[in-house]
Structure 1
Amino acid sequence: MKRTAIDYAAVYQALPGMVALLTPDLVYADVNEAFVHGTGRSREELLGRYLFDVFPDNPNDPDSSGAHNLRASLLRVVATGERDTMALQRYDVESPERPGEWEARFWSPVNTPVLGSDGSVVLIVHRVEEVTELMRARDRAGVDQSRVLEAELYTRARELQELNNRLRQAHARERQVALALQRSMLPAPRQVGHLAAVRYRPAVGALNVCGDWYDLVDLVRGHRIGVSVGDVVGHGLEAAGVMGQLRSALTAASRVAAGPAEALDVVARYAHVVDGAESATAVTTFVDFDRHTIDYSSAGHPPPVLVHPDGRVEFLDRATDPPLDARPEPARRPEASTTFTPGATLVLYTDGLVERRREDIDTGLLRLAESLRRHRTRDPESLADIVLRELLPPGGATDDTALVVVRL
């Protein structure tokens, strides 16, 4: 049977329900005929305009909250990349025929993201179920019990919305405290005598922050430094506390260990007795500037990248082992070594830089390699900023990101 091509634009326009397509900036990109009919606004009045310029809150009703609740839902979709189904909402909509007069409308919206190839939100499908006539019919019929139930449901919906707002405020306060705690425990690059840049970007619109960390330390024997990054599963103050313990343990172990594998062995034994350290990952490198070598070992973490002056990109992936607390009994971890020439660049990072929803991680690694290759001559500070700008979604990632760039 021959397959018939489907005109999805025609299907979209023919949908019986009200559907609009919004950009991540909440600007109308397209609307179907049902949306035009249901809102009483022409396509010319909608397309290219900010949603809340077209449908603002009723200025005559200080308790009006429909637009506020809808804005919060849409911003959650942009930040998380997840669908958001809203409770029945009352909206006061200005009459297109009688400017200055506002009509009560009852809409039940569902907001669904459309994701781009990098996992970021490129469009929002804003679908609206119109139930205003049902509410009016109940009123005209004089069904008192229905009106009581309607009022009760509306009151409960507003109470739930207020509770959600309070919970978000509490989580936001915890998030700020955790971030402040984390930043106080992360070292500055000037603590080692080499040209380095460090960056930390917390997740956007999510609570799973404060698990990522980095470390730079002068080693005691020879002209060497240790460079490490890690990731703790969890969020908030608990993750920040575990992060601090593991980072401090690795700093101490690196100063006395013979190599990075031995340092991770010590930290793995320590992680076994730390609540919240389950599935934590880390990678550490020992850079020897006299021998021009990098010894490295990884505990379940994405591989460091060595960018050679000639543009060759080398992933340090020949010594990868399970996460720190993955084994019931300790076992010696693998270690590998590579060489570099002066002017090369070493880059360590956490998975928030390269992982995207519904995308193979190899795609993110290739994107990182290409960015580093093209901009390898930039100084570490500029290179770090460029990499974050090119690899992170425009609105920020939904996972933490730590990045360390060291010029060798």
Structure 2
Amino acid sequence: MRNSGIDYEQVFQALPGSVALLRPDLVYADANEAFCQMSGRTREQLVGRFLFDVFPDNPNDDGATGMRNLELSLRRVVATGERDAMALQRYDVEYPDRPGQWHERYWSPVNAPVFGPDGSVVLLLHRVEEVTELIRAKGDRDGDRAQVLEAELYTRARELQEVNQRLRQAHAREREVALTLQAAMLPVPERVGGGRAAVRYRPAVGALNVCGDWYDLAELPGNRLAVAVGDVVGHGLHAAGVMGQLRSALSAAVLVADGPAAALDALGLYARSVEGAESTTVALAVVDYDRHTLAYSSAGHLPPALLHPDGTVEFLDLATDPPLGARPEHVARPEAETAFEDGATLVLYTDGLVERRREDIDVGLDRLADCLTRHVSADAERLADTVLAELIPRGGNSDDTAVVIIRL
């Protein structure tokens, strides 16, 4: 696209529809000619200014909701990364040359995200279709009937917005309960791993897509440590419940199983009886401090990273199998083993740390490896904070993230 020879700035200005670009803080970044003509503002009056400083709500209309509804839509697009087509809005506009005089206008807006290289929302595409003349024309043709229809349409739009608001409030309450349950089931270990372990959990921002990620650490006989991370496909309260069941089952399995593959075999059989556990991914590693070895197995999960003392990063990907319950018949899972030196670091994580929309997963893994290499001397706690600070997009992620770091 970059080498196509097309001048996309010219295309943007020539678009017949009214389109503006906004930064995530709702400041105008650009507006095409059609938008300027439609809004009665010049480009210089728009670019660099906060949206609602340019177009405030009509203070003379106590029922004015256009500004609030538009702001909710734009904030939702920033948080979720999903486009939002709004219902018909009445949003009066002040005459630029007659302060205090307002023109009754009707709009049909659509707001869409524009993503940056890291998958975060960097711009909002705000397309507006004005339907004021259409409504007035219907009023001219049909008289009172058109006015009644207009009023009913406006009322129905406001009712729909109120329903959506109540749904969002209900989702927010469920999110809060799910996060509380998640926190209760994922305590921060104080002494596991001889004080060399750090764990982090970061919920998704502005979405219900939380509580599918989990971690677990357990000390085993023979100076060994089992460490696992997993990701349940669902989200919310149900995912938190499934996560708790799988985490408890794996905690029991690692105590009696002969290695991580056998423990995941047992967990996979158990997952078949738990609704919602299908396709859960899990990575499990067992650290043997006396032998200086790591045994590991993965059920469809991203590979753990082993940071060597010299700064090189090895992704442990030699024992990867499908997620839990993915096969129609049971097949023994693979297991691999690798050696480590004193001072190495083991990092397990969920996909929220490295996956980004429209980006190959290898790019995210390279980003993680680069971060680990640059901070090879950091202790577990500091490294955990640094990894999240550098890899989680500014403003938060649309998926929750779990990270476990063990200094070996």
Residue range with higher mean Cα deviation, 56-65 or 109-118: 56-65
Q: For residues 121 and 188 of structure 2, what CA distance do their matches in structure 1 show?
A: 33
- 1:317-336 matches, within 5 Å, as 317-336=317-336
- What residue is the counterpart of 1:238 in the other structure? 238
The offset of 1:140, in angstroms, is: 4.6
Q: Displacement, 1:15?
A: 2.1
Distance 1:11 1:326 in 2: 47
Give the TM-score taking structure 1 as reference length.
0.95
List runs of 5+ in structure 1 lacking aligned partners.
none
How far off its partner does 1:211 sit?
0.8
Q: Is the counterpart of residue 216 in structure 1 residue 217 in structure 2?
A: yes
Q: Distance in 1 between matches of 2:260 and 2:119?
A: 34
Q: Residue 86 of structure 2 aligns to which amino acid in structure 1?
A: M
- Match of 1:189, SS state, is coil
User: 2:199 aligns to what?
Assistant: 198
Q: Name 1:356's counterpart in structure 2.
A: 356
Aligned-residue offset at 1:81: 1.7
Residue 328 of structure 1 deviates from its aligned partner by: 2.9
- Letter in structure 2 aligned against 1:381: E
- Aligned residue for 1:381? 381
Which residue in 2 is equivalent to 1:97? 97
Q: Which is further off, 166-175 or 205-214? A: 205-214
* 1:81 corresponds to: 81
What is the RMSD of the two structures over their aligned residues, measured on CA atoms?
1.6
Equivalenced residue count is 405
- Could you tell me how far apart the structure 1 residues matched to 2:103 and 2:379 are? 59
Cα 1:4/1:324, change in 2 over 3 Å: closer
CA shift at 1:255, angstroms?
Answer: 1.8
Residue matched to 2:292: 292
One-letter amino acid of the structure 2 residue matched with residue 380 of structure 1: A
1:397 aligns with 2:397: yes
Aligned-pair distance for 1:334?
0.9
Residue 312 of structure 1 and its aligned partner are, at CA, apart by 1.0
Partners in 1 of 2:197 and 2:7 — Cα distance?
A: 53
C-alpha distance in structure 2 between counterparts of 1:381 and 1:95, whole Å: 57
**Runs of 4+ displaced beyond 6 Å:** none
Is this contact kept in 1: 2:139–2:145, CA < 8 A? no
Match of 1:306? 306
- Verify the 8 A CA contact 2:354 2:368 in the aligned structure 1: yes
Alignment-mate amino acid for residue 211 of structure 1: G
Aligned partners of 2:294 and 2:340 also within 8 Å: yes
Name the counterpart of 2:5: 5
Question: Which residue does 2:22 correspond to in 1?
Answer: 22
| Identity across matched positions, percent | 70
Report if the CA contact (8 A) 2:92-2:103 is conserved. yes
Separation in 1, partners of 2:187, 2:314? 26
Cα 1:320–1:98, aligned 2, differ >3 Å: closer, same or farther?
A: same
1:229-284: per-residue Cα shift (whole Å, max 9, x none)? 00111111111000001001111111222211111111111111111111011111
Structure 2 equivalent of residue 262 of structure 1: 262
AA of the residue aligned to 1:377: S
2:45 maps to: 45
- Higher deviation after alignment, 107-116 or 343-352: 107-116
The normalised TM-score by structure 2 is 0.95
- Measured in 2, the distance between the counterparts of 1:14 and 1:360 equals 33
CA shift for structure 1 position 94: 2.1
Name the SS for the 1:97 alignment partner: coil
Q: 1: CA distance between counterparts of 2:316 and 2:239?
A: 27
Aligned partners of 2:118 and 2:356 also within 8 Å: yes
Mean Cα deviation higher: 368-377 or 5-14:
5-14
CA distance, structure 1, for counterparts of residue 62 and residue 383 of structure 2:
49
- 3-state SS of 2:91 partner: strand
Instruction: Report the counterpart of residue 32 of structure 1 in structure 2.
Output: 32
1:312-346 CA deviation, whole Å, 9 max, x = no partner? 10001111111121223332211111111111111
Is the 1:191–1:216 contact (alpha carbons within 8 Å) kept by the matching residues of 2? Answer: no
